[in-house]
Structure 1
Amino acid sequence: MKLSELTAGTMFMPPEWDREFNHIHADSRDIKPGDLFIARKGHSSHGKAFISAAIEAGAAAVFSENAEMFRCEAGSVPVFPVSELEKQLPGWLKKRYPGYESLTLYGVTGTNGKSSVTQFIAQLAAASGKRCGVIGTLGNGFFPDFEETKNTTPDICVVYRLLDQFAQSGADSAALEVSSHGLHQGRVAGLIFDVAVLTNITQDHLDYHGDMANYFAAKAALFDKDKARSAVINIDDEYGARLISMPTLCDHYLTLSSKKNISADVVFHKVVATADGMKAELQTPWGTEDVYVPLLGEFNVANLAAAVTALAVTGEDFGNLLIKAETLQPVAGRMALYTKPGACKAVIDFAHTPDAIGVAIKSLAPLSKTLSLVFGCGGDRDRTKRAPMASAASLADNVWLTDDNPRTESAEQIFNDVSDSPDASDFTYMHDRAAAITAAIEATPEDGVLLITGKGHENYQDIMGVKHNYSDEAVLLSLGYQRAGGGYAS
């Protein structure tokens, strides 16, 4: 594609500077020879600081937001000044990457459950003979082969390029985790989702949004009439209940609930834990059926209900989806079970908010007389979340507080913030995460369960800007544990 084709109708392209280009990138580290670099204002810096790096990497041209004048760099690379670049960028991306138009788009937002719901949508679609791409925390691609990602919701240039690649690979649909950061920073601007899903909203990311009102507003934007054709909304959540009364809400939506709101459009109840999963009854506009999911926790029934509803809204057969639900595989780092003869069971989960930790503990508590917990609080993040996390953690019988990506913050300061909570008086404090897990295993009886939260699938420990190789799973494997075949605790 030529620059003049890309910008037709939006900006004049001098013929002498018109040229072919390959991909569009807003991150200079992604530039390959022949690409177009977008230098725009970011959250903490401006892309103009990286123009030289992009050109050195082979950029064919640069569009620079609010640059003073046209100029050439490195002899022949044009740098075009562009006003209102953020408004024009989605239109350019649609021209360069038109594949998104052929895809059914599912957007899932919420504090917890985004990864599980998107993965369930993709698995159920695949089991029904469809091909569904995934963009999210665990990576981008087709289940179960994902490429590592920098963000839950990537930069807008990456999002459109991935959707185009999915379409070219034969995908019928794509399920996207849409984070509050991604919504606030316009990373899905210009897309219209066929179904938007709200799982829940609890305290998180207030270091970025400032307060819960702003956090909710960022999430709620996904459900506006101009961004979603339909929606699935959990009204057990107080913010979900607020969302359905907003005047900007898309015209078609279904409410989702447990028995708390029996008048909801979709109700999952009569939830029973079995030896190898969960059973429940699902009441929907498509009928009432029993459903079985080979995964642990009532929250996974809620996640499944959201995924099934989203797919049914777009025409997938409800009964067939429930049959396929029996084949669902565990999501990486979400309630993953590990066992070792003569030792307690261990479960790794990504839970890193007060609500998620509390839900995980309550899900495992009926399975064991003794429940131990290893958890941490991330550095350079919302400090007001730490005391509530301590309160949630105190639901466990024994608790070890350890490091969980302290980043550039003092790990000792994080410990001090947690210890200020009266609920943390009986905690054991150990900075060495592997040592804390080992100590917790030794202190938990054979018939007990150790829950390890916070990192989930992550394979690093972020300390002072350096990501050191580390994974909770690797620690368990080194201690003689093995991943349970079905991934659930029984």
Structure 2
Amino acid sequence: MLLQSTLTSLRKLPLTCFEADSRKVLPGSIFVCSQGLNHDSHHFVDEAVARGAIGLIATRPVDTRLPCFVMPGHAMSISLISHYYQNPQRQLFNIGVTGTNGKTTVAYSLHKILNQTSPSAYTGTLGCEFDGHQGELINTTPDAITLLNLMKRMVDKGVTHHVMEVSSHALDQDRVSCMDYDITIFTNLGEDHIDYHGSRDDYLQAKLRLADRLKPDGFAIINLDDPMAMAIMDRCQQKSRILTYSTQNPEASLYADPVSASCQGAEFQLHYQGSAYKVSTPLPFQFNVENSLAILAPLLATGQEPEQAINYLKYLSPVPGRCEVISLGNGATAIVDYAHNHDALSGLIRHVRQHTNGHVLTVIGVTGDRLMDAEVIGRCCSQLSDHSFFTTDNPMGLEPDTILASMCRQAISNKITIEANRERAIALALSRFSQQKHSNDVLLVCGKGPETWQYTSIDKLQSEPYAGDKAVIETYARAGGLLL
């Protein structure tokens, strides 16, 4: 009764969208208040009103002249917004991708392929993209209210498929509580965000919650090479169909063997339903063979012919900031990649080692919310690279010197250079190429991917502009006569 009467009242207002952050309220917005353990947005009602809010949804009475709809809890507020929008998430074919590494490559590539035949949307680390719209997101997985706003726009634009990255934070904080997925993809479950989750097991348990959001007739796509594969399968098999993929286990639904990978791409033979197919992809290195299988699996699960799905993979464009290769004039190579945790960094450097006999240089920073990881990342990069350049990467309120000191604590001191200014760190690394003229050298610039900002404070709405790793490489390589 409360829901229906509130919906009737809401529909009488000329509202444009719902907003959970008072700083983002625009004229016509309904400001949605909530109270958590450390934050109570009811205190920011005056700011929302000043910015043009025309009404409030709250979980307790608020002294205001605006219409205020009091819900018994924030979950009920989310349900109210979903019903107001006529449940846009149920009008989309939703694919959720989670994993410690690879989820952006898989989700964004899958979106690009689907969009060739069906209007598709993507939400994730690279922002939100659909029907010509491209917008940045504060988090990899937006809060439920932002998601509902976006999905309403998607439906209005005729979008039918929605591919989204689902982070461990989002699963732990119930940001996707309004979602039921037609397909879930688990790329791998390593170790990440321990600062937030407290332990590896808590992190893994958060990731596994994606299985609970899968529709009963949906597909769970699981990397059989991941040590957590059996736990994921146990969580999924009671309610869904399962497709597995592997580069090691021939019992997988999709099995790749043999595999040939390099800095420029990969080729492999796909074994699927008793037949073998030759596959080529511009995605470089062995780990992207796993990602390629994760991209193919949902296409095959939804009835795509293998030959057609494989053909799409052949012409994939590089995902921004994910193993983006820049060939330099002296034969060296620069690679921009988002790798920022121990698993991704060690895997990337080891794969590069397999494909070059030159020097491997790494530019790397650690974000302010990952200070606990700084020592192991510093040690890893200094051990596996010929030389590493430690720099900044979204300090988020911490002094860069504090982060850099932690990175150096276990690092090999004669194999590192410290330069807090990221642009200068990249320039220093490139100068080694121009001086030494090693034609097989590889420079890895890691951590930020395509980001063109630095979060110096903990408030992600207040960022400082940054040219971006790829642009900085091209600028200094051109100045040094290294750009082809």
TM-score for the superposition, normalised by structure 1: 0.88
Q: Distance in 2 between matches of 1:379 and 1:138?
A: 20
Structure-1 separation of matches of 2:297 and 2:305: 10
- Is structure 2 residue 234 aligned with structure 1 residue 245? yes
Asked if the contact 1:230/1:250 (under 8 Å) is kept, the reply is no
Matched residue pairs, number? 469
The answer to whether the 8 Å contact 1:91/1:190 transfers is no
Q: What is the CA distance between 1:458 and its match in structure 2?
A: 0.8
Indicate whether 1:379 and 2:368 are aligned.
yes
- Residue 173 of structure 1: aligned partner: 161
**2:281 match:** 293
- Say if 1:357 and 1:393, in contact at 8 Å, map to a contact too: no
Q: Is residue 147 of structure 1 aligned with residue 147 of structure 2? A: no
CA positional deviation for 1:353: 0.6
Counterpart position of 1:38: 32
Match of residue 470 from structure 2 = 473
SS at match of 2:228: helix
Q: SS of 1:40's equivalent? A: coil
Q: Distance in 2 between matches of 1:110 and 1:287?
A: 29
- CA shift digits 1:234-268 (9 cap, x unpaired): 12112233221237853311222211x22222222
1:16–1:86 Cα change, 3 Å: closer
- Once the two structures are overlaid, the 10-residue window that deviates more, 46-55 or 380-389, is 380-389
1:395 equivalent to 2:384? Answer yes
Gaps of 5+ in 2: none
Q: Which residue of 2 aligns with 1:313?
A: 301
Query: Are residues 16 and 185 of structure 1, via their aligned partners in 2, closer, same or farther at CA, if it must alter by over 3 Å?
Result: closer
Distance 1:35 1:427, change over 3 A: same
Cα distance in 2, alignment partners of residues 227 and 111 from structure 1: 23
The aligned runs of 1:383-462 (5 Å cut-off) are 383-384=372-373, 386-388=375-377, 390-421=379-410, 423=412, 426-444=415-433, 445-462=438-455
Q: Which moved more, 1:30-39 or 1:88-97?
A: 88-97
CA–CA separation in structure 2 for the residues paired with 1:257 and 1:144: 35
Of 196, 203, 220, the match for 1:208: 196
Return the TM-score normalized by structure 2: 0.89
Instruction: Tell me if structure 1 keeps the 8 A contact 2:363–2:425.
Output: yes
Matched, 1:256 2:256: no
Q: Deviations over 1:400-449 (max 9, x none)?
A: 22222222222222222222225566322222222221222222423311
Higher mean alpha-carbon deviation, 442-451 vs 271-280, is at: 271-280
Residues 1:167 and 1:287: Cα distance change in structure 2 (over 3 Å): farther
Deviates more, 1:13-22 or 1:169-178: 13-22
The structure-2 alpha-carbon separation of the partners of 1:169 and 1:225, relative to structure 1 and needing over 3 Å to count, comes to closer
Question: 1:41-440 maps to which residues of 2 (within 5 A)?
Answer: 41-42=35-36, 44-65=38-59, 67=60, 69=61, 71=62, 73=64, 75=65, 77-90=66-79, 92-127=81-116, 129-142=117-130, 146-224=134-212, 229-246=218-235, 250-259=239-248, 261-273=249-261, 276-285=264-273, 287-342=275-330, 344-369=332-357, 370-384=359-373, 386-388=375-377, 390-421=379-410, 423=412, 426-440=415-429
Shift of residue 136 of structure 1? 0.7
Asked if the contact 2:111/2:121 (under 8 Å) is kept, the reply is: yes
Within the candidate set 20, 26, 31, 2:20 is matched to 26
Distance 1:144 1:109, change over 3 A: farther
Residue 210 of structure 1, CA deviation = 0.8
User: Where does residue 3 of structure 1 map in the other structure?
Assistant: none
- Alpha-carbon shift at residue 377 of structure 1 (Å): 1.3
CA distance in 2, matches of 1:64, 1:393: 51
The structure-2 alpha-carbon separation of the partners of 1:233 and 1:17, relative to structure 1 and needing over 3 Å to count, comes to closer
CA contact (8 A) 1:112 1:356 kept: yes
Structure 1 stretches lacking a partner, 5+ long: 1-7, 483-488
Q: Equivalent residue of 1:112, what SS? A: coil
Q: Tell me, what secondary structure is at the counterpart of 2:3? A: coil
Q: CA deviation at 1:35?
A: 2.6
Structure 1 residue runs of 4 or more that deviate by more than 6 Å after TM superposition = 14-18
Q: Please name the residue that 1:4 is paired with.
A: none
